[in-house]
Amino acid sequence: MDFIRMKISLSVLLFFHVWLCRAFNDVSTIPFNKGFSHLFGDGNILHANDDNSLQLHLNQNTGSGFKSSDLYNHGFFSAKIKLPSDYTAGIVVAFYTTNQDVFKKTHDELDFEFLGNIRGKAWRFQTNMYGNGSTHRGREERYTLWFDPSKEFHRYSILWTNKNIIFYIDDVPIREIVRNDAMGGDYPSKPMGLYATIWDASDWATSGGKYKTNYKYAPFIAEFTDLVLNGCAMDPLEQVVNPSLCDEKDVELQKADFSRITSRQRMAMKRFRAKYMYYSYCYDSLRYSVPPPECEIDPVEQQSFKETGRLKFINKHHGHRHPKKSRSEVLDARNYGNEDEE
């Protein structure tokens, strides 16, 4: 009897699992050596034998990171990631697209940044967007998660087309930015590569810098597997001359499952944002008296953020995420919504 019941609940679980994962059945993964190279911290990058998985370590000597070998003019970028467990205060794991190495003053960027925490407290993360060097106009949203990201792998994805941007966790779209003319250059428009890093951000990552990285718990290990690079690889300087080179790939991207948010997914996105988003620049009236043009003000979200969109105000600078290249290059992006982590 119990055995039958167990079998039934297993098949129900399996059904939901297949159903939930359906959206990304049309992506194919790429081995590390086919699409990526090391960014920094060579000795702290450990590859699995099959080349589909790798670990990025952070210890007292250095963090580490990798990047795609090519830049892509639009694309779907994705990886399954498992974050370090236990005491992770001060640590940032970033998964992002950028072209900062090519366009120093006018770079584009789309970010997932995972923020570690003290033992027993949950990981948090933020998403952000910059276009054409708009670093003085941060577009951060901050969230908690509905699962412990250090227990299992989850898929994190960034879709970027010339119409919209979607951040996904598993098959749940958590943020969509729809392009409009008023955004101008703030919408990423030049080819970007995919990056992943782990690094010490003790001065801001956890409770506004109150809790630092504690190397007693090192090495801190972020694991990556099933990497996806689905886009039009091209020379970024060429693209400026002839953007139509990627038209065919753009059409293909826009037809894929991950470009369409079903009504079920849209409901999941609303639920996620109502329950897990705790900061959004769109509701931060102290920072933007007029919300930036892509903001779609949702009355339910607005109600929960009240007047200012932030629970407490803090004004801090933070550096960028490949410290070897740009430690001195402190961005103007301020770190909002950071003091609510007690």
Ligand X SMILES: *[C@@H]1O[C@H](CO)[C@@H](O)[C@H](O)[C@H]1NC(C)=O
Size of the site for ligand X (CB under 6 A): 4
User: For ligand X, which is the closer residue by CB, 219 or 292?
Assistant: 292
Measured distance between the N- and C-terminal CA atoms of the chain, rounded to whole angstroms: 47
Task: Extract the tokens encoding 137.
Answer: 């106009």
Which x/- pattern, by CB under 6 A, does the window 298-327 give for ligand X? ------------------------------
| Least distance CB 21 / ligand X (angstroms) | 38
Is 109 in the active site? Answer: yes
User: For ligand X, which is the closer residue by CB, 43 or 184?
Assistant: 184
- C-alpha dihedral sign at 297, 175, 253, 248: positive
Query: Rule CB under 6 A: is residue 43 a binding residue for ligand X?
Result: no
Whole-number Å distance between alpha carbons of 254 and 162: 9
| Least distance CB 251 / ligand X (angstroms) | 23
User: For ligand X, which is the closer residue by CB, 132 or 162?
Assistant: 132
Q: Which residue is nearest to ligand X (CB)?
A: 185
Query: Rule CB under 6 A: is residue 185 a binding residue for ligand X?
Result: yes
Query: Rule CB under 6 A: is residue 184 a binding residue for ligand X?
Result: yes
Site for ligand X in 79-108 (CB under 6 A): 106
40 beta partners: 65
State the residues that interact with ligand X by CB under 6 A: 106, 132, 184-185
Q: Return the active site residues.
A: 109, 113
